[in-house]
């Protein structure tokens, strides 16, 4: 599906679909224009996709505030494109599961260490990766190591990462360095189906599949030494661990359950939409509130999931290196979610307003001073974690004041350019693993199929994505990491 509509260049990093564009559903008008963050190099892959039409569709949501926006890693998704950001009004707006995604609170967590590749026995990477693979259930349909009762999973949904820490998965001080401190307080168990609870109970503490991973990385470049230092990143060669996973089958079930309800709500509240996948409900309707409070349960599940995985990552390092993880200073740098809707305050046309901000494949990028940022980082902006593909590089960025123009949002990762099916036809998993081995990256995939699907050539150039986010000023480059070892789900 190629985009043939207007895409006007605004500046070096922004393109606009003007509000007089009439989309496929030409009886509906855009309420505002749509803004896509891209440069000349990126724009061809943006146009070669259904995503611009989806970005235009976002502008037709009732109660949208400001422009509909898409980050540079934009690509086709359910309803919203992945990379989509839209804010809606707290009185007249809507909440849409298609603006959050199926993997609610899919996110990234970064652990630092005091280890450096310089004085590190390189084949230890191999051993730690294999140990992590053993200790963290991964792959399609991966099941939890522990069996939770229904009342325990309910505690998880209420408490998020706090449940993990209270049950000896991690340290008390971990909590402070998680977005929302790892728990949304509006979680409402009455909005969760038994089916979702059962799926959740069997999967808590698992990595999942696809682009979910555990990576051991080294610091390759430090752009902002002072900010990096605040985040605990001090030296070239310093070893860190990046974790990327979400709410597994639980979030998927929550999204599915509530999409069914909101599909009906669209008719009930006489909402006109250009695409059924944008199913939504007024923010103050029972259906809208229930979705928002169910989404919080799934977000809490994901934070607890990442918390348990952090614990097993620390244990894996301890077993191989025979050192205590506290002595290795394996503290959390930060944890971000990139599939979520949040009630936040933003300045709109000079006025402070509360808004529901949908971020779907987009990361919060709050600049200096925001109360939501832990005190330790508040004067430099929040850490923003951007994973690349398994053969290239990943980034630690800092949130900026300028990101207020995107309601405090930036990109979330590389973004696919080749579908999974196409990738499997194009590459052999064994060869991909070998090629990466020759580059000094040890990959332990759950299957060779996933290794082919996740081949670096399936993704956009992460450097191009990050350079656009940096160039546009909606986040700034702090550290670049290179992978040394990968567990792929």
Binding site for DNA (CB under 7 A): 78, 102-103, 106, 140-141, 195, 198-199, 203, 208-212, 245-246, 248-249, 252-253, 416, 454, 489
- Shortest distance, position 389 Cβ to DNA, whole Å: 11
We find the least distance from the C-beta atom of residue 482 to DNA, in angstroms, to be 21
The angle, 0 to 180 degrees and rounded to 10, between the axes of the packed helices 286-321 and 150-159 is: 100
Phi-psi region of 379 (alpha: psi -120 to 50; beta: other; left: phi over 0): alpha
For the bound state, the minimum distance from the C-beta of residue 204 to DNA, rounded and expressed in Å, comes to 12
Tokens 């150039």 belong to 461
Q: Is 166 helix (H, G, I), strand (E, B) or coil?
A: helix
Q: Which helix (H) or strand (E) holds 12?
A: none
User: Which residues, including other chains, have CB under 8 Å from residue 44's CB and lie 6 or more apart?
Assistant: none
**255 versus 466: smaller Cβ distance to DNA:** 255
Closest approach of Cβ 359 to DNA, in Å?
16
Nearer to DNA among residue 239 and residue 259 (C-beta): 259
The answer for residues whose C-beta is within 8 angstroms of residue 259's C-beta and 6 or more apart is 97, 98, 279
**In the complex with DNA, which residue's Cβ is closer, 164 or 246?**
246
How far out from the chain centre does Cα 266 lie? 27
**Pick 15 or 102: Cβ nearer DNA:** 102
Residue 429's H or E segment, with its range, is helix 429-438
The residue among 330 and 450 lying less far from DNA, judged by its C-beta, is 450
**Integer Cα distance of 262 and 285 in angstroms:** 10
Give one DSSP letter per residue of 364-377, joined into a string.
E-B-TT-TTS-GGG
Give alpha helix (H) positions in 275-428.
Answer: 286-321, 420-426
Catalytic residue among 244, 258, 338, 412: 412
Is 358 annotated in the active site? Answer: no
**Least separation in angstroms between CB 450 and DNA:** 8
Q: Which is nearer to DNA, 305 or 365 (CB)?
A: 305
- Cross-strand partners of 488: 213, 445
Minimal distance, residue 245 CB to DNA, in Å: 7
* Closest approach of DNA to the CB of residue 208, in Å: 3
Query: Cβ of residue 195: shortest distance to DNA, in angstroms?
Result: 6
Residue 244: both structure tokens together? 């990327």
DSSP-derived secondary structure letter, 181: G
For DNA, the closer CB: 74 or 380? 74
Which residues lie below 8 Å from residue 484, measured CB to CB, with a gap of 6+? 117, 125, 215, 216, 217, 218, 239, 440, 441, 442
Cα dihedral across residues 272, 277, 278, 282: positive or negative: positive
Report helix, strand or coil for 41.
helix
CA distance 464 to 250: 33
CB 217 within 8 A of CB 239: yes
Q: Do residues 191 and 297 make contact, with C-beta atoms less than 8 angstroms apart?
A: yes
Residue 326: how many other CB atoms lie within 10 Å: 11
Nearer to DNA, 447 or 464 (CB): 447
In whole angstroms, how close is the CB of 112 to DNA at the nearest point? 25
CA proximity to 110, closest of 345, 292, 382, 298 = 382
- Cα–Cα dist 322/301, whole Å: 31
Of the two residues 62 and 210, which places its CB atom closer to DNA in the complex?
A: 210
Burial state string for 113-127 with b = 16 or more CB within 10 A and e = fewer than 16: bebebeebeeebbbb
**Three-state DSSP state, 477:** strand
Q: Among all residues, which ones are annotated catalytic?
A: 412
């Amino acid at each position: 599906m190629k985009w043939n509509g207007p895409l006007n260049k605004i500046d070096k990093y922004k393109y606009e679909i003007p509000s007089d564009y009439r989309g496929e559903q030409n009886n509906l008008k855009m309420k505002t224009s749509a803004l896509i963050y891209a440069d000349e190099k990126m724009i061809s892959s943006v146009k070669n996709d259904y995503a611009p039409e989806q970005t235009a569709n976002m502008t037709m949501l009732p109660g949208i505030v400001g422009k509909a926006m898409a980050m540079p890693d934009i690509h086709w998704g359910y309803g919203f494109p992945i990379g989509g950001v839209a804010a809606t009004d707290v009185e007249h707006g809507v909440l849409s599961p298609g603006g959050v995604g199926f993997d609610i609170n899919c996110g990234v967590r970064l652990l630092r260490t005091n280890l450096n590749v310089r004085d590190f026995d390189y084949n230890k990477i191999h051993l730690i990766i294999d140990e992590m693979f053993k200790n963290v259930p991964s792959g399609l349909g991966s099941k939890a190591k522990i069996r939770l009762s229904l009342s325990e999973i309910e505690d998880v949904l209420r408490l998020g990462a706090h449940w993990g820490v209270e049950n000896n998965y991690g340290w008390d001080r971990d909590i402070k360095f998680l977005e929302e401190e790892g728990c949304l307080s509006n979680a409402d168990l009455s909005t969760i189906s038994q089916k979702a609870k059962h799926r959740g109970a069997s999967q808590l503490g698992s990595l999942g599949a696809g682009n979910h991973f555990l990576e051991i990385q080294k610091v390759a470049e430090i752009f902002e030494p002072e900010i990096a230092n605040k985040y605990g990143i001090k030296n070239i060669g310093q070893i860190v661990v990046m974790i990327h996973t979400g709410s597994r089958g639980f979030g998927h079930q929550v999204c599915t359950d509530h999409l069914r309800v909101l599909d009906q709500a669209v008719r009930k509240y006489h909402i006109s939409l250009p695409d059924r996948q944008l199913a939504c409900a007024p923010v103050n309707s029972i259906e809208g509130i229930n979705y928002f409070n169910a989404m919080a349960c799934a977000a809490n599940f994901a934070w607890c999931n990442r918390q348990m995985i952090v614990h097993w990552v620390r244990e894996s390092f301890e077993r191989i290196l025979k050192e205590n993880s506290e002595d290795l200073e394996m503290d959390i740098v930060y944890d971000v979610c990139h599939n979520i809707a949040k009630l936040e305050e933003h300045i709109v046309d000079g006025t402070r307003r509360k808004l529901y901000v949908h971020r779907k494949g987009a990361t919060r990028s709050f600049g200096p001073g925001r109360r939501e940022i832990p005190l330790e980082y508040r004067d430099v902006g929040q850490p923003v974690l951007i994973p690349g593909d398994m053969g290239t590089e990943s980034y630690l960025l800092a949130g900026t004041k300028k990101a207020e123009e995107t309601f405090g949002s930036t990109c979330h990762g590389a973004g696919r350019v080749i579908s999974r099916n196409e990738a499997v036809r194009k590459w052999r998993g064994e060869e991909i693993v070998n090629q990466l081995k020759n580059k000094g990256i040890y990959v332990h995939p759950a299957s060779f199929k996933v290794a082919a699907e996740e081949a670096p050539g399936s993704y956009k150039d992460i450097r191009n994505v990050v350079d656009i986010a940096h160039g546009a000023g909606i986040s700034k480059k702090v550290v670049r990491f290179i992978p040394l070892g990968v567990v792929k789900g």
